[in-house]
A and B are shown apart, each in its own frame.
Chain A
Amino acid sequence: MSSSPQPTTAQIRETLSAAGFAPAAVEVSASRTPTGLAADAVEVGVLGDSGCVMAQLRAGTVATSVLPVLPNGRCFLGSVQR
């Protein structure tokens, strides 16, 4: 994942799964938009015991924060992106 400045959704999933995170606990936003453009940023939500670890990967930088888990047990609002 560190090898490319803007990893794809699949690369992020692979890396997290290799690091031991259960795929069901991980949501990753699309690195390509519906019309095939590159997304400005890719967001990751990892469901933890005490909250959602939210990360945003943008042009080689990562911003993270911990936010409360949503009542439905997910980290992302909107479309399910597990």
Chain B
Amino acid sequence: MSNVLNRRAVVAQEDHRTRRGRSLLAVQVVGELLITLGVIAVLFVAWQLWWTNVEADAAQGAAVKQFVQEHQVPVTEETAGTLPATRDPAAMPVGTAPAHGVAIGVIYIPRFGVEYSQPIIEGTSSDVIDTLGLGRYADTAMPGAVGNFAVAGHRQTRGAVLDNIHLLVPGDKIYVQTADGFYTYVFRNQEIVLPDRTDVILPVPAQPGAVPEQRLLTMTSCNPRFGSEERIIAYSVFDSWQPLSAGPPAAIAKQLAALQGKG
């Protein structure tokens, strides 16, 4: 009789132990799953904030080089800076928009660094701006044309081409090289808007129906730097142009020579 009781007690104890063991195992499995998820999340962030930049930087650098080397310009001590920078806008060539995904030219912004250059590609869909840098909004003006030449670029990730857009100072020069020439724009002011303010890329920004009289450059990116709740808009006004045959503006001559030189 006592044996039976003892056995019951033993069975009950064993039951208890296995139940405890099972719940421990469950906790362990859940814990390890959470750790795995955490590692995956960290890897995702690393991929997004770092690796997409590595990949995009390579594609953007290659696109810049390809464009620059296909459109050779004379860069010598004589041409750099000695020619008059201001030429009659009436004689200024304005290119026609290429097909989606095709290069329009290269943008140089010394405020973002002496090495800063990015390709300007037709279109603003993710296949363009995720890998190739700045995308031109279709149906906006081409470089040098009257109206608004509007481009979009990522603030962070995928090349972070406009990471430093908030650092532009009124009066900063922005150079755009196309197959026809160099167009110099001067940064004027910026504003931060909500994403639904598509009127910032109108021919006269934020003035629907207004007839454009000026040649503008508008750059749009995300704001804040690590978010996308807002958009940061940088407006610039056309200043001068010169044909490719006249060589680059002095401020970017060295940089362009380096880009042209390297195979």
Contacts and interface: CB of A to CB of B under 8 A. Distances in A.
Interface of A: 29-30, 33-35, 37, 39-41, 43, 45, 54-56, 63-65, 67-68, 70-72, 75-81
B237 interface: yes
A77 B235 contact: yes
A45 B189 contact: yes
A67 B170 contact: yes
Contacts of B210: 72
A78 B213 contact: no
B189 A37 contact: no
Contact of A78 (B171, B194, B235): B235
A67 B204 CA distance: 18
Contacts of A81: 191
Interface residues of B, number: 30
A67 B233 CA distance: 19
B89 interface: no
28 contacts: A29-B191, A33-B223, A33-B224, A35-B229, A35-B230, A39-B192, A40-B167, A41-B166, A43-B190, A54-B189, A55-B170, A63-B171, A64-B170, A65-B170, A65-B171, A67-B237, A68-B237, A70-B237, A71-B214, A72-B213, A77-B205, A77-B218, A78-B191, A78-B205, A78-B206, A78-B233, A79-B191, A81-B191
A35 B189 CA distance: 20
Contact of B230 (A34, A55, A67, A68): A34
Interface of B: 166-167, 169-171, 186, 188-194, 200, 204-207, 210, 213-214, 216, 218, 223-224, 229-230, 233, 235, 237
Contacts of A76: 188-189, 235
Contacts of B190: 29, 41, 43
